[in-house]
Amino acid sequence: MGVLEYVLGGILIAMALFLTVVVLMQSGKDKRLSGSIAGGADTYFGKSKGRSRDKILARLTTVVAILFAILTVVTYVLIARH
């Protein structure tokens, strides 16, 4: 195995760990629904802050997941060539 395979493998492991952490940091979708039924007393800024954080995490998850899939295919093709 060459250096490139080790580097790509390390990047894949780092991306997998990063994806796991980012997904676990996101709040569940049902949290908003139960808060509205129970009459949660959040301020406007509290609600806005939470939505923007969740929005950033959701976009980050999507981008990293796509890059992870592409890098996995590239790694497979490079290893299959040898």
Distance from chain centroid for Cα 28? 14
Q: What is the pLDDT of residue 54?
A: 84
DSSP state of 40: -
CA separation for the pair 52, 27 (Å, rounded): 12
pTM for this entry = 0.68
CA separation for the pair 35, 45 (Å, rounded): 16
Print pLDDT tens along the chain (82 aa): 689 889 999 999 999 999 999 999 887 766 555 555 655 555 555 556 556 888 898 999 999 999 999 999 999 998 888 7
Dihedral sign, Cα of residue 78, residue 80, residue 81, residue 82: positive
- Torsion (CA) 20, 60, 30, 51 in degrees, nearest 10: 140
